[in-house]
Amino acid sequence: MKKPYIYIYPAKLREDQITLSSNPYIKNLHKALSKEFIVINEKPASRLGQLFDVYKYIFKDIDFIYFNWIERIGGGRFASIQYIIYRVLILIIKLKKTKIIYLLHNKLPRDNNRLSKKIMIDIIKKADFLIAHSEEGLEILKNINDQVPCIFLPHPMELKIQNTSDINKEFDILIWGSIHSYKGVDKFLDVFIKSKLHNRIKIKIAGEISGLDLTKKIESYSNSKIIIENWIHTDDEIEELIQKARIVLFTYLDGSVLSSGALVKTLEIGGVVLGPKIGSFKDLSKFEIVHVYEDFYDLISKIDFLVSKHNIKVGNSNIEKFANSNTWENYGNKIKAVVKNSNTLTNPVQ
């Protein structure tokens, strides 16, 4: 029998939409699922938008629709109209008995918008299968809907680890990626600048800062020890920066992140990660793959301890073992196993 049909939301980006900061997650997801499913929307969405793209396929024989970040429409343009379109779409999906898979990426929508929250809760209640990349996310899903399968699948990764111990470390701490308020960089700097470390720890912040107010605040801390590069960096530049840093720091505020593509990318390259004791950071710390902190004051102590060590590391064997069990290549197999017992499929999973 044929593989089951699946639609992945959002669709791939068009060529004119791809930038240096584009998230490769959906592209990787397409590749992973195409080994076990027939992905019917291999082409990018039209200029009409992501939701309208689903309507192009919804009246065909589809077994699954796999939603990621659908709640973001609540904070986008014409949000009220998009919400109505979303409600009609879900109604059609249910009438056609197409199964909904929803993956929870964040505790709350990034825009913290009321309508976005409403959509997130609604899709969790309407889903037939719920997935999270962290154990904390799994508990959130179960608290909202414990009537359907809820599964924890770690964020997939592909190791590129190399020996970076001999590379000259140019700075103690690297913070990289797009800088938004929920990432807590400004809050960390508030505490750091008042600590005993501010005169001897060198920090590089490499990423485009979002919003004029946040930009002004973060750039106000710029000095000889805090270097700020407020622009988008290429993948090669990020890889080089990670190799030249003693620690790659993540300062996400509690209440925002569950899993992080930047965390995964840092580990893939072999960076030493220090992050908050939440979500995937907490999960990975149990395998001694990352270092974690409780709050920003604990973070200052952790930085002091780790930087003072001559050779900071977390066991590569632990990372390799974990990564080998959670590759993109076998992610499709895991999703197949999740939905295998689903009935009323157009093309049952073999």
Q: What pLDDT is stored for residue 195 in this prediction?
A: 95
> Which pair of structure tokens corresponds to residue 310?
């001559």
Residue 61 lies in a domain: yes
Residue 46 lies in a domain: yes
Nearest to 71 by CA among 107, 19, 102, 109: 109
Q: What pLDDT is stored for residue 157 in this prediction?
A: 92
Residue 23 lies in a domain: yes
Q: What pLDDT is stored for residue 257 in this prediction?
A: 84
The CATH number of the domain holding residue 64 is 3.40.50.2000
| Whether residue 183 is found in the same domain as residue 289 | yes
Residue 161 lies in a domain: no
CA distance 291 to 314: 8
| Whether residue 233 is found in the same domain as residue 133 | no
Residue 162 lies in a domain: no
> Which pair of structure tokens corresponds to residue 77?
């343009």
| Whether residue 138 is found in the same domain as residue 247 | no
**How many Cβ atoms are within 10 Å of 161's Cβ, its own excluded?**
14
| Whether residue 36 is found in the same domain as residue 136 | yes
> Which pair of structure tokens corresponds to residue 26?
């959906």
Q: Are 318 and 272 in contact (CB under 8 A)?
A: no
pLDDT in tens, 195-239: 999 999 999 999 999 999 999 999 999 999 999 999 999 999 999
Residue 163 lies in a domain: no
The pLDDT confidence band at residue 113, using thresholds 50, 70 and 90, is confident
Q: What pLDDT is stored for residue 350 in this prediction?
A: 46
| Whether residue 332 is found in the same domain as residue 192 | no
| Whether residue 236 is found in the same domain as residue 304 | yes
Per cent of the chain over pLDDT 70 is 93
Beta carbons within 8 Å of 262's beta carbon, 6+ residues apart: 176, 177, 250
Query: Given 3-state DSSP classes, what are the helix, strand and coil percentages for the chain, each rounded to the nearest 5?
Result: 40, 15, 45
pLDDT in tens, 266-290: 999 989 999 999 999 999 999 999 9
Q: What pLDDT is stored for residue 116 in this prediction?
A: 95
| Whether residue 129 is found in the same domain as residue 187 | no
Is the Cα dihedral 74, 77, 79, 84 positive or negative?
negative
Residues paired with 39 in a beta bridge: 6
Q: What pLDDT is stored for residue 111 in this prediction?
A: 76
Residue 31 lies in a domain: yes
Mean pLDDT score of the chain: 91
Residue 335 lies in a domain: yes
Q: What pLDDT is stored for residue 346 in this prediction?
A: 53
| Whether residue 81 is found in the same domain as residue 211 | no
| Whether residue 135 is found in the same domain as residue 15 | yes
Give 284 or 310, the one with higher predicted confidence. Answer: 284
| Whether residue 13 is found in the same domain as residue 152 | yes
| Whether residue 70 is found in the same domain as residue 136 | yes
pLDDT in tens, 10-26: 999 888 787 767 889 99
Instruction: Render 115-157 in DSSP notation, one character per residue.
Output: HHHHHHHHHHHH-SEEEESSHHHHHHHHHH--SS-EEE-PPP-
Q: Are 9 and 66 in contact (CB under 8 A)?
A: yes
Whether 70 has a pLDDT exceeding 90, the answer reads yes
| φ/ψ (deg, to 5) at 4 | -70, 155
Q: What pLDDT is stored for residue 246 in this prediction?
A: 93
Whether 166 has a pLDDT exceeding 60, the answer reads no
Is the Cα dihedral 272, 275, 281, 284 positive or negative?
positive
Q: Is 84 helix (H, G, I), strand (E, B) or coil?
A: helix
> Residue type at 56?
K
> Which pair of structure tokens corresponds to residue 140?
């959130």
Q: In 36-63, which positions are buried (b, 16+ CB within 10 angstroms) versus exposed (e)?
A: bbbbbbeebbeeebbbebbebbeeeebb
Whether 153 has a pLDDT exceeding 60, the answer reads yes
- Print the domain residue range for 99: 5-156+327-339
> Which pair of structure tokens corresponds to residue 226?
């805090």
| Whether residue 317 is found in the same domain as residue 335 | no
Whether 261 has a pLDDT exceeding 70, the answer reads yes
Domain count within the chain: 2
